[in-house]
Amino acid sequence: MTSRIDPIDAGGGQHFNAYVSLPDQPNGHAVLVVQEIFGVTPHIREVADRYARDGYLAIAPDLFWRVEPGLSLSHSKEDMQRAFAVLEKFDEDLGVQDLGATLAHARAQPGISGVGLVGMCLGGKLAYLAAARLPVDASIAFYGVGIEKKLDEAGDLKQPLLMYFGGKDRYAPPAVRARIEAATAGNPRVEVRVYEEADHGFYTRGAAEVIASAHAEAKAFFAQHLPTTVGAKS
């Protein structure tokens, strides 16, 4: 496994960077790894590397490039304050647009037949929006914060979407999860799973056994929904 930085064409002569983790044994699929509010941190790069070890071409775009490019924050009190300040300036619609550009970049890579998307926290909300707005083959939203504010788009969910929540997550309490489940209950493409003993951030900073279990389920979801036939790219 190796890594590189790719420039992504944002249109209008603009570009932004993405961390790319390259598999030693490609499986013909790509996964977009969508950041938390802290930027493309070591945690996010590790998630990308995790998928690359499983054979996926993993791409983690810098979605804060319009506000503060290259941002990578810790979870200290000071960095938390800085992250929320950057978040206030972040345009979600442009973020989804940038995911569309990253999706096009992924599909243009040699040997890619399908592209999935996995996002955490802010990235979880963007994964939900991507499933409604973009031609991504399948999306996974880990503890997406603020999805309940965009339930007017639930009727537009035409791509497979798996949403994970932690039972102890104060950012997505039971009442919020109930609203999300009610809004998506009639859609056979959408599934909600809850790790009752997990807190927010469990896919990157949780117990090893929870990470392993969730990751195994995520891979099974992608195996079910990503195309199985590699295109004729060279």
Partner residues linked to 215 by β-bridges? none
Q: Which of 29, 43, 105, 200 is catalytic?
A: 200
Q: Mark residue 118 as left, alpha or beta (left: phi above 0; alpha: psi -120 to 50; beta: remaining).
A: beta
Pairing of strands 29-34, 114-120: parallel
Residue 205 DSSP SS3: helix
Residue 91 DSSP SS3: coil
Partner residues linked to 4 by β-bridges? 20
Q: Which of 62, 121, 137, 225 is catalytic?
A: 121
The alpha carbon of residue 181 and the mean position of all alpha carbons in its chain are separated, in whole angstroms, by: 19
Tokens for 20?
């790319």
Q: Is 121 a catalytic residue?
A: yes
Q: Is 169 a catalytic residue?
A: yes
* CB distance 125 to 153 below 8 Å: no
Q: How many residues does the chain have?
A: 234
Q: Which of 62, 98, 137, 169 is catalytic?
A: 169
* CB distance 142 to 164 below 8 Å: yes
Within 13 Å of residue 91, how many CA atoms lie on the same side as its CB? 7
Distance CA 128, CA 161 (A): 7
179 burial level (CB within 10 Å; 0-12, 13-18, 19+): middle
Active site residues: 121, 169, 200
